[in-house]
Amino acid sequence: MAYRDFQHFIEVLESKGELKRIREPFSPILEITEVADRVMKKDGPGLLFENVVGPLPRLGTPNPNSAVIGNPSIYKPGASPEGNAVSYMPVAINTMGSRKRMSMALSCDDYEEHAQRLEELVRLPGDPPKGIKDALALVPKLIEILRTTKPKTVTSGICQEVVLTGDDIDLTKLPVLTCWPEDGGPFVTLPLVFTHDPNTGKRNVGMYRVQVHDKNTCGMHWQMHKTGRRQMEDAGEKGKNLEVCVCLGGDPAHTFAAISPLPPGIDEMVWSGFLRREAVSLVKAKTVDVMVPADCEIVIEGYVDPSETRLEGPFGDHTGYYSLAEQFPVLHVTAVTMRTKPVYPATIVGIPPMEDGWMGKAVERIFLPLIKMTVPEIVDMNLPVEATFHNVAFVSIKKKYPGHAYKVMSAIWGLGGMSFTKMVFVFDEDCDVQNISEVLFRLGANCDPMRDTLLTKGPVDQLDHAAMQEGFGGKIGFDCTHKLPGENGFSRPYPKLISMADDVKSKIDRVWGGLGL
């Protein structure tokens, strides 16, 4: 089922025992992060902080206690200048922090179902019907896809029950989390950033952290490889500002769509409609020409001047380290709209495991069929959460010829977001790459570091602090497959993997239940 809105999702989580209400008072400055981090580390439930109380963030004041090199921190923990505690709207966090909740967020029992749906969909063009009966069988499926994916325009939505403009705009009244002690200030951590290509008008929805600079300006963390950054640069070439809406909440399928590595030209709201099996309702923003999901909790409207930057960060990032302060674009807020009684959706990132690990794992599983379209010899893939998505990939393949593993490594480094992968380990198809014990066994047994590695260079995540320079660094591939005769100079017979005879295994299977073992 599709969710009416984010609070409907919260209600369903609670009905399934997947949500804990926290009634004790906690501050959005560090305290909510500490509670959430402990819960995430032990696979705990989603959390709804109902009593969010704390000082106003102190903006524009350097933090003299910063231990981060180059930290311009504009926030120093402590009482607000007035010394008064402020009550905020409730904060929901870790709502997608398990396989079950991530699947519930995507309106299914298990997110692998969407991988199967996508695999059926991408097979349609290349697997034409063999007769009129097969063709007619496809019609209902195609009609359903068209009906549920194309967004529809509505004239009103809960996201605009309250409209704040001019002097009424005050972002400090939102419970924006200051997550870690050396953060440069409060950061919106679960935003859906809506923009339009100034050349084509096509919509883009991405998830880019947003730092609150003051009551009506924010830092927009558009990295060098991101679509939002390119759209801003294109707008700048035309001498125009880029209109932006930062949306919070709505059906959680919207949030997943924002982090999905979609092929160029695919609308994230079409993808959200596919996931939720119901078209997304969009309403026009109040002060900018951007359509936003009508079911959002909060929408921050504004524009970015491509010629303007401001120091943004540091930020305790998904790498487990602080990303340091740099110059990034500035969002000027022209309106804040929201529902009458909103809940603020948030997440935190840091040393894994975190909630974002489950979001990344769902991306891995759901988009595997698309990867197989380009690299069909791939059997399975595991992007370990501990390697923060883009550092390590374990891949199993149907090996057919000498050097096949190197072909797959190169293909992965040419695939969109997969191009940021620093280390690729390639295994035979009989290796379960989801089993780290088996992966380590095969890696140690089948890989000679002198012979079976490939070093190269290419783009890396801009947040990768270990890279030789920002956004560019080294990569390495490991051939952990059995070697074929003559492959890369290997001239000896390759041994067989130890395996028990099938008839013996069958016999023991038959008597195993009575052995009491």
The residues assigned a catalytic role are: 317
Cα gap 448→3, rounded to integer Å: 51
Four-residue CA torsion sign, 19, 44, 109, 252 = positive
Cα gap 425→480, rounded to integer Å: 7
User: With left for phi above 0 and alpha for psi between -120 and 50, is residue 462 left, alpha or beta?
Assistant: alpha
- What three-state secondary structure class fits 135? helix
User: With left for phi above 0 and alpha for psi between -120 and 50, is residue 277 left, alpha or beta?
Assistant: left
Q: What is the 3-state secondary structure of 267-336?
A: CHHHHHHHHHCCCCEEEECCCCCCEEECCCCEEEEEEEEEEEEEEECCEECCCCCEECCEEEEEEEEEEE
Bridge partners, 458 (sequence order): 473
CB atoms within 10 A of CB 82: 9
Task: Concatenate the DSSP letters of all residues of 221-267 into one string.
Answer: ---TTSHHHHHHHHHHHTT--EEEEEEE-SSHHHHHHHH--PPTT--
CB atoms within 10 A of CB 493: 7
Cα gap 76→63, rounded to integer Å: 5
Q: Within a 13 Å sphere around the CA of 224, how many CA atoms are in the beta-carbon half?
A: 13
